Amino acid sequence: MTPLPQETIARKRDGEALNADEIGGFVAGITSGAVNDAQAAAFAMAVFFRNMSLDERIALTLAMRDSGRVLDWSDLDGPAIDKHSTGGVGDNVSLMLAPILAACGTYVPMISGRGLGHTGGTLDKFDAIPGYMTNPDIETLRRVVKSVGCAIIGQTDDLAPADRRLYSIRDVTATVENISLITASILSKKLAAGLEALILDVKTGSGAFMKTREESISLAESLSAVANGAGMKTGALITDMNEPLASAAGNWLEVKNAIDFLTGAHRDARLEEVTLGLCAHALVLGGMALDEDDARLRAKVALDSGKAADKFFAMCNALGSWHDLARYAPEPAPIVRDVFPTESGHIRSIDTRGVGMAVVVLGGGRTNPADTIDYQVGFDRLIGLGAKIDPQTPIARIHARDEAKAQEAEARLRKAYAIGDAPPSHPVVYDYIAPQGGK
């Protein structure tokens, strides 16, 4: 006998453990509409306060995966691998990682999202590329992945539809920040993509959703345990977000930064460390390398040889871009100028969230889902922690649409940069959470 939605809600409200059938029935109701918005919100709030065990998290993740289509890549001659980041500022890693892995012989069907709050979204970056289709159908995804080796697109309507509905309800009911619900939301989409292996980039610091290292480790351990328990080999890196990862923040500016990275014109050191670290662990998880050292060497060869850049350009062309992106330069924003500090010293700390919000003020992010993105605005030449500066040394270059927005964004950027004594050095990669659990 299938329990009524209110019975399932009541059991979780009272702190009882739900079984797979109860969770599966409730998720099926979310998908079909048999569970209304009020009931879905009540369920999310009950989970928020009572949380879920590992078995419950796995059951919820699998039920949301199975609410729609699950892709099958068994006809490929290599593993299907992907990466997920919890989000940050200047985090354009996906643009390099997917073609590097493809150049190493793996296949990367990457289902990405748009910006959330102060963080930039991978899809928004690709929307800055003229002609690029971020929402093709599944058949196009399969064709590009098979022919090129990688494709970065948005979530389609038939992949994990229960997650789409539940997330929209959580977003307006103050139930987003729960590890059980975050875990199921992230992994249901990745499992629906039919991956063999997944590497997670869990950020920590002033520009991350998880501010402390302990919170980030807890989320990484939950994601790893549930993903492996659901049959997808998964590990996680804990990486630093106490400063922007790239020296650019803003959609086209981050695309240009990624193209420069792939072609060797310019590579930010911290960005290279995170990108190659994630690639190395992904290759090991996918059985494409003996160990991390071997995998990192393979990734570096793919990058330095130009093969990864070729994969990136081929992916963009296969998904609709008609430009020679190695030479393409869009019309710049009307205002482009340096931003200078008002005092001398070292960059002691950076409110990275503040940098992201300055990009939003410029129009490079959204304050509500209906907002239109301005792809040309943002910052480049951002300097990092520890740099010595003075009022004649710029901390960034701003790209703005109008003077009022430029002035507000400049003020926000200066406020985000604290100047004083040089800070102690810290790593960009803190920890690796090896695959946990599993079947």
Cα 276 from chain centroid (whole Å):
16
Candidates 12, 31, 50, 82; catalytic one: 82
Tokens of 43: 């369920």
CA dist., res. 404 & res. 80, Å (int): 47
CA dist., res. 247 & res. 260, Å (int): 12
Candidates 50, 57, 118, 170; catalytic one: 170
Say which residue the tokens 């003229």 belong to: 130
**Residue 22 DSSP label:** H
Contact between 427 and 213 (Cβ < 8 Å): no
122 is catalytic: yes
CA dist., res. 166 & res. 169, Å (int): 5
147 is catalytic: no
CA dist., res. 375 & res. 332, Å (int): 10
Candidates 61, 106, 122, 234; catalytic one: 122
Candidates 12, 50, 84, 203; catalytic one: 84
Kind of pairing between the strands at 345-350 and 388-389: antiparallel
Nearest CA to 162 out of 137, 182, 189 is that of: 189
Candidates 85, 204, 239, 321; catalytic one: 85
SS3 141: helix
Nearest CA to 40 out of 230, 170, 197 is that of: 170
Nearest CA to 272 out of 260, 282, 283 is that of: 260
82 is catalytic: yes
Residues 6+ apart with CB under 8 A from 74: none
Kind of pairing between the strands at 233-240 and 429-433: antiparallel
247 is catalytic: no
189 is catalytic: yes
114 is catalytic: no
85 is catalytic: yes
Nearest CA to 155 out of 188, 106, 199 is that of: 188
Candidates 83, 164, 281, 399; catalytic one: 83
- Type of residue found at 384: G
- Type of residue found at 320: G
Candidates 114, 165, 190, 203; catalytic one: 190
Q: Catalytic residues, which ones?
A: 82-85, 122, 170, 185, 189-190
